[in-house]
Chain A
Amino acid sequence: MTTAVVERGPGASLASPGRGRRKIKNGVATTVITLCFLVALVPLVWLLWTVISRGWHVIVKSSWWTGTERGIGYRDPGGGAYHAIIGTLEQVALCTVISVPIGLLVGVYLVEYGRGALSRVTSFMVDILTGIPSIVAALFIYAVFITTLHGQRAAWLVSLALVMLMLPVIVRTTEEMLKLVPNELREASYALGVRKWKTILRVVMPTAFSGLITGIVLGIARVAGETAPLLILVGYASGLNTNLFSGFQGSLPGMINDQFTNLGSGNKAYGLDANGNRVLIHNYAPDRLWGTALTLVIIVMALNLIARLVGRFNKVAN
């Protein structure tokens, strides 16, 4: 591992008694540890293979990206995910617009201003926010906007619940990235008489820029596949609804859930034929199910990849 590693020779004190047994133990440990990694690979490869092999032929059709499910029954062929993609994009966009300024400011506060009690409490609360289950975030929004303010279930409430999940991701990454900016840069700026706010906005944040983008993109990836708030705060619409503030709206996780809950047993849909025998009747709903799953996985994976690539350009890479 390092140059300084002392070769463990047979003359070393521990080596004399039971050397064979120790060697075997060492071999077993190495095997088990390597196996652990291989075991973890199994579900990843298996899951990705399932989603890709069952979903790709659905998403390669152009109608998948332009059509909706309006007027298409659960067992009917065809249909697209356009309405769901638009819904997910809108919900995530509203969530991002709210989360980014707050998240960046909190990160800036913790690194550039934070001292004393407020900073410690903020840091603790961000940790708590990280751990809040999405269903609890959704219940909170429900308790405030629907039971207290008597609002209607709508997609923008989902965005608000997602804000609570996205905020801690952005705050934590911003904090990490700003800490990496060398203090010499700040000092040089102050020495030139530049104000603190301008130093932060024009020196510190641009230096950490790609790191901040990474945090934002990871935040988006974190919430794009979130389903629990959808169940509580908005209904699923199979047609296109671009209005976040009224009516039900489709979304990719919502579409997966909708397909699944109407799937019947497993991925095989059974029905009764004319003679009353149980037969496999259709396979279309499962097709759309895996097509939606693949679409969602592609979007989330792409976001993660973008975050990683942007991170490569980080000027203050650790």
Chain B
Amino acid sequence: MTDPTSTGATGPRLTVNKDEPPLSPPSIAGESVVPRGAGGDSLGDDPTAPPIDRPASAVVGSAQPLGVSTLEKSPVLGAGSVAAGGKKQFADRIFAGLASGASGFVIILVALVAVFLVIKAVPALGDDKVNFLTSRDWDVAGHRFGIVDLLWVTVIISILAMAIAVPISIGIALFITHYAPRRLARPVAYVIDLLAAIPSIVYGIWGIIVLAPKLEPVQRALYHLSGIPIFKNKGYTTGTIFDGGVVLAIMILPIVTAISRDVFERTPRTNIEAAWALGATKWEMVRMAVLPYGRPGVISGAMLGLGRALGETIALYLILSKPSAGPFSFSIFYGGETFASKIANNAQEFSTPTQTGAYIAAGLVLFVLTFVVNAAARWIVNRRREFS
């Protein structure tokens, strides 16, 4: 949070001073003498030296005594300095303009993303021969595209990733903030952050070549639960939604951990000590003080992770196998395509406006999904911040 009282108010005050008549002693002192003298320039040369080290006379001088000395000099100096001041104000305006211009650019950029995706998607949707939202067909050459399968795989793979990653992340965050020895906490946090540094394409090749074969026994064990539709055996051993979900879980782990860690660290000391005072064990303390306090943070962290999972492209593009058309299946032991991996798989086939538009429409749905999830997460975080 900025502190508007100092950064904001001080600048304009100087500006006002300069516009006053040159004969007013404080304004001349503040505007013409000091910036050109030792104070202004040496400050620029060594900005980091503590302000107290400035010659005391300069600071005092800017208030009053120097003003008198200026008056003694010829009024020409005063006039010249006003001109210089005008130039400086110009520079100030330019800089402020650049900064707000850059902000405007970001706003327009995000707005343009939405606008362009809509403009390119709408004509294609008009050509769609099936219902975009309720059909399973995806045959862009035949102008038939419905997103049911894509939506299902995208959602189930993200939920699977969350189901694995969120509990583990909470555990890691608790370990770092309340269980690990002080000396260990920092390196441990760093190691978890390293997981976020690995490019997703490396997760992709590792996931399909190394991890997926090792997950096969787990998958076979879960076939025993095949009474539940999501564990149904569909004859796919690697490249399944299950494999993709596990890799996604590893990828979102650092995000969820980082945000949970942040809120757990800020648990009020008093709450923790109150729990201790009641004779709580460590786990009871965590349950009574840390977890309730951190709940909104964990939820928003989980949603940021979900946003990442929904949009993950390249890892799933490499891992998920594409099943041939068949009846719809709820099974996670089945191949499939998410919005993102579908677009990536067909990147070479953007030939006609309708074909391209179909994929852009899929991208638009993905954009809206991640937008909603991320906005909700930020909303929870910001609401919390207002309370604390």
Contact = CB atoms under 8 A, between A and B. Distances in A.
B283 A253 contact: no
Contacts of A300: 197-199
Nearest to B276: A6
B223 interface: no
Interface string B329-368: 0000000000010011001001001001001100100110
B133 interface: no
Given A6-B273, A122-B106, A266 B213 contact: yes
A147 B273 contact: no
B101 to A, nearest CB: 8
Interface stretch (A67-75, A77-85, A133-141, A276-284): A133-141
Contacts of A201: 95
A154 interface: no
Contact of A228 (B34, B47, B209, B340): B340
B281 A8 contact: yes
Contacts of B211: 43, 46
Chain B binding surface, main DSSP class: helix
B378 to A, nearest CB: 5
B43 A202 contact: yes
B175 A133 contact: no
Interface in A191-212: 191-198, 200-203, 206-207
Nearest to A206: B47
A40 B168 contact: yes
A9 B250 CA distance: 40
Interface string A177-196: 00100011111111111111
A113 interface: yes
B374 interface: yes
Contacts of B83: none
Contacts of A193: 14, 30-31, 34-35, 39-40, 62
Interface in B92-124: 92, 94-96, 98-107, 109-110, 112-113, 116-117, 119-120
B4 A266 contact: no
Contact of A125 (B106, B276, B282): B106
Interface in A18-64: 22-23, 25-26, 28-30, 32-37, 39-41, 43-44, 46-47, 50-51
Interface string A110-131: 1111110011011011111111
A310 interface: no
Which among A29, A39, A118 has the greatest number of chain B C-beta atoms within 10 A?
A29
A196 B11 contact: yes
B99 A112 contact: yes
A127 to B, nearest CB: 5
B370 A132 contact: yes
Contacts of B276: 5-6, 8
A129 to B, nearest CB: 6
B141 interface: no
B2 interface: yes
A84 B320 CA distance: 26
B375 interface: yes
A135 B35 contact: no
B172 to A, nearest CB: 5
A15 interface: yes
A225 B202 contact: yes
A143 B94 CA distance: 33
A122 B105 CA distance: 9
A95 interface: no
Given A187-B10, A202-B43, A128 B4 contact: no
A37 B199 contact: no
Contacts of B284: 14, 22, 26
B192 interface: yes
A144 interface: yes
Contacts of B89: 195
A257 B373 CA distance: 29
B112 A109 contact: no
A106 B51 contact: no
B201 to A, nearest CB: 5
B62 A191 contact: yes
Contacts of A112: 2, 7, 99
Contacts of B374: 127-128, 130-131
Contacts of A304: 194, 197
Given A131-B374, A192-B58, A184 B51 contact: yes
A218 to B, nearest CB: 9
B210 interface: yes
Contacts of A228: 313-314, 317, 340, 344
Contacts of A257: 201, 314, 318
Nearest to A301: B197
A10 to B, nearest CB: 8
A58 to B, nearest CB: 14
A133 B312 contact: yes
Which among B51, B119, B191, B340 has the greatest number of chain A C-beta atoms within 10 A?
B51
B281 A194 contact: no
B307 interface: yes
Which among A11, A37, A125, A203 has the greatest number of chain B C-beta atoms within 10 A?
A37
B192 A203 contact: no
B205 interface: yes
A5 B282 CA distance: 12
24 contacts: A2-B273, A4-B269, A8-B276, A8-B280, A36-B169, A37-B176, A40-B195, A51-B202, A109-B102, A118-B103, A121-B107, A122-B106, A125-B107, A128-B375, A140-B117, A147-B353, A164-B109, A179-B2, A190-B10, A191-B62, A192-B62, A193-B31, A194-B40, A293-B201
Q: List 4 A-B pairs, minimum CB-CB distance, nearest first.
A: A225-B199, A12-B279, A133-B311, A36-B171
Interface of A: 1-2, 4-6, 8-9, 11-15, 22-23, 25-26, 28-30, 32-37, 39-41, 43-44, 46-47, 50-51, 101-102, 105-106, 108-115, 118-119, 121-122, 124-137, 139-140, 142-144, 146-148, 164, 167, 171, 179, 183-198, 200-203, 206-207, 221, 224-228, 231-232, 253, 256-257, 260, 266-267, 289, 293, 296-297, 300-301, 304, 308, 315
Given A34-B179, A139-B117, 5 more contacts: A128-B375, A140-B117, A144-B116, A146-B350, A198-B44
